[in-house]
Structure 1
Protein backbone atom coordinates (compact mmCIF):
# COMPACT_ATOMS: atom_id res chain seq x y z
CA UNK A 1 0.00 0.00 0.00
CA UNK A 2 0.94 3.64 -0.46
CA UNK A 3 0.15 6.41 1.99
CA UNK A 4 0.06 10.15 2.20
CA UNK A 5 0.13 11.58 5.67
CA UNK A 6 0.14 14.75 7.70
CA UNK A 7 2.14 15.01 10.91
CA UNK A 8 2.12 17.81 13.41
CA UNK A 9 5.59 18.82 14.54
CA UNK A 10 6.42 19.81 18.11
CA UNK A 11 6.38 23.48 17.08
CA UNK A 12 2.80 23.15 15.79
CA UNK A 13 3.70 23.18 12.10
CA UNK A 14 2.34 20.58 9.70
CA UNK A 15 4.32 18.35 7.35
CA UNK A 16 2.78 16.34 4.51
CA UNK A 17 4.56 13.35 3.02
CA UNK A 18 4.36 10.08 1.12
CA UNK A 19 5.47 6.59 2.14
CA UNK A 20 4.84 2.93 1.49
CA UNK A 21 5.30 2.06 5.19
CA UNK A 22 3.50 4.53 7.43
CA UNK A 23 4.49 3.15 10.81
CA UNK A 24 8.17 3.00 9.87
CA UNK A 25 8.11 6.49 8.35
CA UNK A 26 6.71 8.09 11.51
CA UNK A 27 9.37 6.28 13.53
CA UNK A 28 12.09 7.55 11.18
CA UNK A 29 10.82 11.13 11.52
CA UNK A 30 10.93 10.83 15.30
CA UNK A 31 14.48 9.43 15.18
CA UNK A 32 15.47 12.67 13.40
CA UNK A 33 16.39 10.71 10.29
CA UNK A 34 13.38 11.67 8.18
CA UNK A 35 12.78 14.76 6.10
CA UNK A 36 15.09 17.68 6.71
CA UNK A 37 12.07 19.78 7.69
CA UNK A 38 11.06 17.50 10.56
CA UNK A 39 14.54 16.73 11.92
CA UNK A 40 14.60 19.75 14.19
CA UNK A 41 10.90 19.60 14.98
CA UNK A 42 10.51 16.27 16.75
CA UNK A 43 8.58 14.61 18.10
CA UNK A 44 6.00 14.51 15.34
CA UNK A 45 2.48 13.21 15.80
CA UNK A 46 0.47 11.55 13.03
CA UNK A 47 -2.68 13.59 12.46
CA UNK A 48 -4.05 12.23 9.18
CA UNK A 49 -3.41 9.68 6.47
CA UNK A 50 -4.95 8.27 3.32
CA UNK A 51 -4.23 4.85 1.80
CA UNK A 52 -3.80 4.10 -1.91
CA UNK A 53 -3.12 0.98 -3.93
CA UNK A 54 -1.39 3.01 -6.65
CA UNK A 55 1.74 5.11 -6.05
CA UNK A 56 0.88 7.59 -8.78
CA UNK A 57 -2.50 8.34 -7.21
CA UNK A 58 -0.90 8.75 -3.79
CA UNK A 59 1.66 11.18 -5.18
CA UNK A 60 -1.07 13.20 -6.91
CA UNK A 61 -2.99 13.43 -3.66
CA UNK A 62 0.15 14.45 -1.77
CA UNK A 63 0.63 17.33 -4.21
CA UNK A 64 -3.02 18.36 -3.75
CA UNK A 65 -2.71 18.39 0.02
CA UNK A 66 0.59 20.27 -0.04
CA UNK A 67 -1.13 23.03 -2.04
CA UNK A 68 -3.81 23.51 0.64
CA UNK A 69 -3.50 26.24 3.23
CA UNK A 70 -3.22 25.32 6.90
CA UNK A 71 -6.95 25.65 7.77
CA UNK A 72 -7.89 23.31 4.92
CA UNK A 73 -5.27 20.77 6.00
CA UNK A 74 -6.55 20.97 9.57
CA UNK A 75 -10.10 20.45 8.30
CA UNK A 76 -9.00 17.07 6.91
CA UNK A 77 -8.15 15.75 10.37
CA UNK A 78 -10.70 17.74 12.32
CA UNK A 79 -13.51 15.77 10.71
CA UNK A 80 -12.41 12.54 12.33
Structure 2
Protein backbone atom coordinates (compact mmCIF):
# COMPACT_ATOMS: atom_id res chain seq x y z
CA UNK A 1 0.00 0.00 0.00
CA UNK A 2 1.29 3.45 -0.90
CA UNK A 3 0.96 6.54 1.28
CA UNK A 4 0.80 10.06 -0.08
CA UNK A 5 2.07 13.34 1.34
CA UNK A 6 0.11 16.24 -0.09
CA UNK A 7 0.18 20.02 0.03
CA UNK A 8 -2.98 22.08 -0.34
CA UNK A 9 -3.25 25.81 -0.82
CA UNK A 10 -6.24 27.21 1.03
CA UNK A 11 -8.42 30.14 -0.02
CA UNK A 12 -6.53 32.36 2.45
CA UNK A 13 -3.27 31.35 0.68
CA UNK A 14 -2.08 29.32 3.68
CA UNK A 15 -0.65 25.87 3.05
CA UNK A 16 -1.90 22.64 4.56
CA UNK A 17 0.23 19.50 4.61
CA UNK A 18 -1.09 16.03 5.30
CA UNK A 19 -0.63 12.38 4.48
CA UNK A 20 -3.09 9.66 3.58
CA UNK A 21 -3.42 6.18 2.14
CA UNK A 22 -6.31 7.29 -0.14
CA UNK A 23 -5.77 10.74 -1.66
CA UNK A 24 -9.04 10.80 -3.63
CA UNK A 25 -11.14 10.06 -0.54
CA UNK A 26 -9.16 12.52 1.58
CA UNK A 27 -9.57 15.28 -1.01
CA UNK A 28 -13.34 14.66 -1.06
CA UNK A 29 -13.36 15.06 2.74
CA UNK A 30 -11.34 18.29 2.54
CA UNK A 31 -13.52 19.67 -0.27
CA UNK A 32 -16.70 18.87 1.65
CA UNK A 33 -15.31 20.33 4.87
CA UNK A 34 -16.16 17.11 6.71
CA UNK A 35 -12.71 16.10 7.90
CA UNK A 36 -12.77 18.53 10.82
CA UNK A 37 -9.35 19.86 10.01
CA UNK A 38 -7.69 23.19 9.44
CA UNK A 39 -9.03 23.29 5.91
CA UNK A 40 -12.75 23.10 6.77
CA UNK A 41 -13.09 26.89 7.04
CA UNK A 42 -10.52 27.74 4.39
CA UNK A 43 -12.11 26.37 1.23
CA UNK A 44 -11.83 26.25 -1.72
CA UNK A 45 -8.62 24.27 -1.77
CA UNK A 46 -6.07 23.62 -4.48
CA UNK A 47 -3.91 20.51 -4.52
CA UNK A 48 -0.40 21.84 -5.17
CA UNK A 49 1.59 18.64 -4.81
CA UNK A 50 1.28 14.96 -3.97
CA UNK A 51 4.12 12.49 -3.56
CA UNK A 52 3.89 8.76 -2.87
CA UNK A 53 5.90 6.92 -0.21
CA UNK A 54 6.13 3.19 0.40
CA UNK A 55 5.36 3.29 4.12
CA UNK A 56 3.26 5.37 6.48
CA UNK A 57 6.41 6.05 8.50
CA UNK A 58 8.17 7.60 5.47
CA UNK A 59 5.10 9.70 4.61
CA UNK A 60 4.64 10.90 8.19
CA UNK A 61 8.35 11.73 8.47
CA UNK A 62 8.19 13.84 5.31
CA UNK A 63 4.96 15.52 6.46
CA UNK A 64 6.59 16.51 9.75
CA UNK A 65 9.71 17.75 7.97
CA UNK A 66 7.66 19.89 5.56
CA UNK A 67 5.60 21.38 8.40
CA UNK A 68 8.82 22.78 9.84
CA UNK A 69 9.81 24.50 6.60
CA UNK A 70 9.06 28.07 5.55
CA UNK A 71 6.40 28.75 2.93
CA UNK A 72 9.11 29.68 0.41
CA UNK A 73 10.97 26.43 0.98
CA UNK A 74 7.76 24.37 0.68
CA UNK A 75 6.88 26.06 -2.61
CA UNK A 76 10.41 25.51 -3.92
CA UNK A 77 10.02 21.80 -3.08
CA UNK A 78 6.66 21.74 -4.91
CA UNK A 79 8.37 23.25 -7.99
CA UNK A 80 11.25 20.78 -7.74
CA UNK A 81 13.66 23.71 -7.40
CA UNK A 82 16.35 21.94 -5.38
CA UNK A 83 18.78 24.86 -5.60
CA UNK A 84 16.21 27.11 -3.90
CA UNK A 85 15.43 24.43 -1.27
CA UNK A 86 19.14 24.20 -0.51
CA UNK A 87 19.61 27.98 -0.40
CA UNK A 88 16.58 28.45 1.85
CA UNK A 89 17.87 25.76 4.20
CA UNK A 90 21.21 27.56 4.46
CA UNK A 91 19.44 30.87 5.08
CA UNK A 92 17.41 29.29 7.89
CA UNK A 93 20.57 27.83 9.43
CA UNK A 94 22.28 31.23 9.38
CA UNK A 95 19.30 32.87 11.08
CA UNK A 96 19.42 30.29 13.90
CA UNK A 97 23.05 31.12 14.72
**Residue-pair matches, total:** 80
Question: Secondary structure of 1:26's match?
Answer: helix
Residues 24-68 of structure 1: per-residue CA shift (max 9 Å, x gap): 111110100124210000111100111011111111111111110
Q: What aligned pairs does 1:1-80 form with structure 2 within 5 A after superposition?
A: 1-79=2-80
Question: Secondary structure of 1:10's match?
Answer: coil
Q: How far apart are the structure 2 equivalents of 1:54 and 1:64?
A: 16
Q: Would the aligned equivalents of 1:6 and 1:49 in 2 still touch at CA under 8 Å?
A: yes
User: Where does structure 1 lack aligned partners over 5 or more consecutive residues?
Assistant: none
Q: TM-score, normalised by structure 2?
A: 0.77
Q: TM-score, normalised by structure 1?
A: 0.92
Question: Secondary structure of 2:50's match?
Answer: strand
User: Where does structure 2 lack aligned partners over 5 or more consecutive residues?
Assistant: 82-97
In terms of fraction of residues, the more helix-rich structure is: 2
TM-align CA RMSD: 1.4
Give runs of ≥4 in structure 1 deviating > 6 Å: none
Match of 2:92 in 1: none
In terms of fraction of residues, the more strand-rich structure is: 1
Of the two, which has the highest radius of gyration?
2
